[in-house]
Structure 1
Amino acid sequence: MNHADNSNHSSAQPLAERVNNRSQRPTSDAFKAFMASHWAPAPQVTPARDAVADHAATRRRAISGQFPGERLVIPAGPLKVRSNDCDYRFRPHSGFAHLTGLGLDHEPDAVLILEPVEEGTGDDGGNHRATLYFRPLAGRDTEQFYADARSGEFWIGARPTLAEFQARLGLETAHIDELETAVTKGVGAPEIGGISIRLVRKVDENIDALVDTARYNTARDPENLDLSELDTLDEKLSEALSELRLLKDDWEVEQLKLAVAATVEGFGDVVRALPRALTHHRGERVVEGAFFARAREEGNELGYDTIAAAGNNATVLHWTRNTGRINAGELLLVDAGVEADSLYTADITRTMPANGKFTDVQRKVYEAVLDAADAGFAAAQPGAKFRDVHAAATAVLAERLAEWGLLPVSVEEAISPEGQQHRRWMPHGTSHHLGLDVHDCAQAKRELYLDGILTPGMVFTIEPGLYFKAEDLAIPEEYRGIGVRIEDDILMTAGGPVNLSAALPRKADDVEAWMAGIYQEEERIPHA
């Protein structure tokens, strides 16, 4: 009977509460009273305005101009569970970060709302007034301070107050408890005096549900509500936010330069780690770890999962398992980027000989890819189309493949839309926009992206490659197992393209000399 009683009691406990069974947290009134007392007062300092604040205001003004009379809802997103009661490090949605200027990890569940006002009377003469809704620091006299592992200061450290964020960002702030009213008030069909909402969807399920409920409850004919039309409204906002990032302002360019500089240092760390990596059964992980340490020391995080691929693994385009050995005679392809505290990321790839010296065939493939990259760079001029970079780079690769006798058709036939045989060995695109996301501006319209005109302020990659898989019977054996990619981060200026990552050696001789210099500094050389 006792056993049955205990079982029934256990099963009556909600599952959500069971993760706390291990905690043994005290709940006595005496404990609560003691925890609420004898704390030094929080410093009363008004922070300086962030350097990004004016830039973020300009971005909000640009979005406001596109959607007069409509409420715009841009969530940061919630914490995401990694396992059980452990969360991933928080990273806000890029559209939210761009419009607020907030990076790092201190605003989970926050929402930016641009509230429509009479045209021209809003912030900076725009059509909206912006308010940031978030959960501020709880007082030390509250249970949240010490009992809430997700948001309590005792667990995660201090959080900015409403006043601090307002001073830093030049942005109105409000407690998140006011959010539901701010989202739902006055919602309805514009033709009968209601307010239309546009939402960045699939960022925060709770906000999606709140907006959907408001739309349903205020629809004139809820049962026949056209959901596809509402989806289009929301998609247009995401599209506009993405297209707003096609041109970077001066502050964004400086953040990208910081990310690139840290990434260049990280590649030096990779070379320093190679002697140990060559002796480890997971040498790729040694390389990955060396770069990750730099990303956390100098920035916020990795901009994306590092690719550390040796030998045939370098022919796997998104090899992020990084579980392989690194052998002295192989090439090592490292595709990595540091994400700055502002969340802007670099994206650089270098392919290097693990023992510091290219073989003849490795050098031949490497220099073909470098020639393709240089051709793409030469084509990347103001006024050219974005797609011209890819066409120039891949044409060079087709020519080299033909010279080596690998193409089954002529270069002309291969590069025609009906051919494309050369793409067997380079199936990816040569360029993508870069910024808050490693593949930035991804929701932009095709005519502004692939068919877009290269314009000063754009930042993008140039990254051709050749990937000859070990199992590829269409090529001679000497090429098999060789994968090469060279990727640089390019800023378009009125005077032409600028290679932001030029500090990292690109030419084969320079790569060898750079690696030898680092080995000499470390007084170590890889095993031959």
Structure 2
Amino acid sequence: SGCMSCSQRRYSLQPIPERRIPNRYLGQPSPFTHPHLLRPGEVTPGLSQVEYALRRHKLMSLIQKETQGQSGTDQTVVLLSNPTYYMSNDIPYTFHQDNNFLYLCGFQEPDSILVLQSLPGKQLPAHKAMLFVPRRDPSRELWDGPRSGTDGAIALTGVDEAYTLEEFQHLVPKLKDETHMVWYDWMRPSHAQLHSDYMQHLTEVKARSKNKVRAVQQLVQRLRLIKSPAEIERMQIAGKLTSQAFIETMFASKAPVEEGFLYAKFEFECRARGADILAYPPVVAGGNRSNTLHYVKNNQLIKDGEMVLLDGGCESSCYVSDITRTWPVNGRFTAPQAELYEAVLEIQRDCLTLCSPGTSLENIYSLMLTLIAQKLKELGIVKNIKENNAFKAARKYCPHHVGHYLGMDVHDTPDMPRSLPLQPGMVITVEPGIYIPEDDRDAPEKFRGLGVRIEDDVVVTQDSPLILSADCPKEMNDIEQICSRAS
């Protein structure tokens, strides 16, 4: 899998012909309408047409590798956008694009299709990129806002050709041909309606031929696993603004305080600093509720003397952050809280030192379990750990993994195993925790009902790891100082 170092290769890409962006509003920000967000030539903030073209080029290179020895076949990749989802009658959720589709073209409208097609008589990775997009429709645009249309889609994204969505039906019959290999995620289509309208019959026909439809998402995930310098810059921005939001939320803590208030404060501070949305429903868990790993009700009162565990992140220009901090809402750690907190912090520091090329998330997980077992013994939470029971004890008090890949998704590239050797450009989370439920009769009483997790976002580099969440305080002194600073 040498492909993962693709970013080091020199590609000879044709210069993208300059197409004038229409001087009207499109279905997403453009350098013309939003010059404060996008520089000329950018499709999404910080990411240029050249970067998107390079991604498509690399995908076709991977397909070339996968199909060596199969001469005489044409290759076509089909990716569907997401649909608009509805919360209830007539009330749409905020639209979020399918991230594999978005990664390859940057187009932000629903009901669209991206096609990458090999060129007759030319070798891969040479290809043409086509978008099929919703047609301009003044009556719909009056209600839902402007659409980019075919001219806007081409000029903004830099693909070779664009057509209205309906025109996709003329392409489908050609794909049925025996000599045509189609790459398309038919097992989990991102748009059920487009799948049944255009792709389902094709998939069934191909299933009976020697050229079955092949899934493409694993190949896209292999590319998404390694971030480019521009992607890392986006993730640094997300990490910085989330860290600032944490500081302001710590400062706004008081005792007693509603979980809902801290949730609102955190979301406000993220969005006020330029985040688009929160990356996921945050966990704002006071007291013993911190022992429910995905507690998202966030509707209880946190009492004086209790800690809050806040696991939150935002999405900024298509990239996300995912940070966890735990602190006492009254601004002062009690002795047992401090003991447990310091133990988790030491484990987290040790795990961070392992984030370098060659190790893997699995290796770091093993280290975390070893260190947790050691700390449980030191704190007297577990009395006599036999060698073979150490991991079992650690897993009882920390039932989750040490981390996951991070990128456009919170749980990024989910098909990529955690056993992969880390490489420069990979981004991971490191999030050890120790959770002691209040009804745990084995643990000393002073620790019961306490849960601590500390999570940072980390870029693997050739040198020491780059911590994207470095601005977010985690030393006890720093946290106590922020909580008690005068407004």
The alignment's TM-score, normalised by the length of structure 2, stands at: 0.84
Report if aligned partners of 2:75, 2:180 keep a CA contact under 8 Å in 1: no
Partner of 2:17: none
The DSSP-based 3-state class of the residue aligned with 1:410 is coil
Return the letter of the residue paired with 1:95.
N
The DSSP-based 3-state class of the residue aligned with 1:506 is coil
The DSSP-based 3-state class of the residue aligned with 2:302 is coil
Partner of 1:498: 466
| Residue 185 of structure 2, aligned match among 199, 207, 215 | 199
Matched, 1:91 2:93: no
- Partners in 2 of 1:42 and 1:96 — Cα distance? 24
**Compared CA separation, residues 410 and 46, structure 1 to 2 (3 A):** closer
Report if aligned partners of 2:405, 2:412 keep a CA contact under 8 Å in 1: yes
Report if aligned partners of 1:434, 1:459 keep a CA contact under 8 Å in 2: yes
| Residue 336 of structure 2, aligned match among 361, 374, 397 | 361
**Aligned pairs (5 A) from 1:68-467:** 68=64, 69-102=74-107, 106-118=108-120, 120=122, 126-138=125-137, 142=138, 144=139, 152-172=140-160, 173-182=162-171, 184-188=172-176, 190=178, 193-199=179-185, 201-209=188-196, 210-217=198-205, 230=213, 233-234=214-215, 237-275=216-254, 278-279=255-256, 283-297=258-272, 298-340=274-316, 342-407=317-382, 409-410=384-385, 412-415=387-390, 419-444=391-416, 446=417, 450-467=418-435
1:18-57 CA-partner distances (Å, limit 9, x unpaired): xxxxxxxxxxxxxxxxxxxxxxx95899843214321111
1:379-398 CA-partner distances (Å, limit 9, x unpaired): 12222223222222222211
Partner of 1:23: none
**Compared CA separation, residues 359 and 43, structure 1 to 2 (3 A):** closer
Report if aligned partners of 1:186, 1:195 keep a CA contact under 8 Å in 2: no
1:100-152 CA-partner distances (Å, limit 9, x unpaired): 134xxx40111111122247556xxx2431112111443xxx4x2xxxxxxx3
Q: What is the deviation of 1:474?
A: 1.9
Partner of 2:41: 49
Q: What is the deviation of 1:169?
A: 1.8
More displaced 10-residue stretch of structure 1: 293-302 or 362-371: 293-302
**Compared CA separation, residues 434 and 194, structure 1 to 2 (3 A):** closer
Q: What is the deviation of 1:65?
A: 1.7
Taking only aligned residues, the RMSD between alpha carbons, in angstroms, comes to 2.4
- Partners in 1 of 2:256 and 2:355 — Cα distance? 42
Q: What is the deviation of 1:219?
A: 6.3
Return the letter of the residue paired with 1:181.
H
- Partners in 1 of 2:287 and 2:376 — Cα distance? 20
**Compared CA separation, residues 310 and 473, structure 1 to 2 (3 A):** same
Report if aligned partners of 2:111, 2:194 keep a CA contact under 8 Å in 1: no
- Partners in 2 of 1:378 and 1:348 — Cα distance? 18
1:52-90 CA-partner distances (Å, limit 9, x unpaired): 321111111111122243221111110011101111110
1:399-426 CA-partner distances (Å, limit 9, x unpaired): 11011232254363234xxx52221110
The DSSP-based 3-state class of the residue aligned with 2:435 is strand
* Identity level (%): 28
Report if aligned partners of 1:52, 1:251 keep a CA contact under 8 Å in 2: no
Partner of 1:58: 54
Partner of 1:37: none
Q: What is the deviation of 1:274?
A: 2.0
1:130-180 CA-partner distances (Å, limit 9, x unpaired): 112111443xxx4x2xxxxxxx33223323243233222211322212122
Return the letter of the residue paired with 1:208.
H
Report if aligned partners of 1:488, 1:499 keep a CA contact under 8 Å in 2: yes
Higher helix share: 1
- Partners in 2 of 1:46 and 1:482 — Cα distance? 49
Return the letter of the residue paired with 2:365.
H
Return the letter of the residue paired with 1:471.
D
- Partners in 1 of 2:456 and 2:464 — Cα distance? 15
Q: What is the deviation of 1:472?
A: 1.4
Partner of 1:13: none
1:416-443 CA-partner distances (Å, limit 9, x unpaired): xxx5222111010011110000010102
Unaligned runs of 5+ in 1: 1-40, 145-151, 523-528
Report if aligned partners of 1:187, 1:197 keep a CA contact under 8 Å in 2: no
Return the letter of the residue paired with 1:327.
K
Q: What is the deviation of 1:197?
A: 4.3
Unaligned runs of 5+ in 2: 1-22, 33-39, 65-73
The DSSP-based 3-state class of the residue aligned with 1:73 is strand
Return the letter of the residue paired with 1:253.
I
- Partners in 2 of 1:75 and 1:130 — Cα distance? 14
User: Once superposed, which parts of structure 1, at least 4 consecutive aligned residues long, lie more than 6 Å away?
Assistant: 43-46
- Partners in 2 of 1:43 and 1:474 — Cα distance? 63
Return the letter of the residue paired with 2:264.
G
Report if aligned partners of 1:52, 1:101 keep a CA contact under 8 Å in 2: no
Q: What is the deviation of 1:246?
A: 1.0
Q: What is the deviation of 1:459?
A: 0.7
The DSSP-based 3-state class of the residue aligned with 2:100 is helix
- Partners in 1 of 2:336 and 2:121 — Cα distance? 65
Report if aligned partners of 1:305, 1:336 keep a CA contact under 8 Å in 2: yes
- Partners in 1 of 2:386 and 2:459 — Cα distance? 31
Q: What is the deviation of 1:460?
A: 0.6
Return the letter of the residue paired with 2:158.
G
**Compared CA separation, residues 315 and 187, structure 1 to 2 (3 A):** same
Return the letter of the residue paired with 1:332.
V
- Partners in 2 of 1:361 and 1:505 — Cα distance? 20
- Partners in 1 of 2:395 and 2:475 — Cα distance? 24
- Partners in 2 of 1:43 and 1:331 — Cα distance? 47
**Compared CA separation, residues 284 and 162, structure 1 to 2 (3 A):** same
Partner of 1:4: none
Partner of 2:9: none
- Partners in 2 of 1:132 and 1:178 — Cα distance? 10
**Compared CA separation, residues 501 and 194, structure 1 to 2 (3 A):** closer
Return the letter of the residue paired with 1:502.
A
Matched, 1:472 2:447: no
Report if aligned partners of 1:189, 1:196 keep a CA contact under 8 Å in 2: no
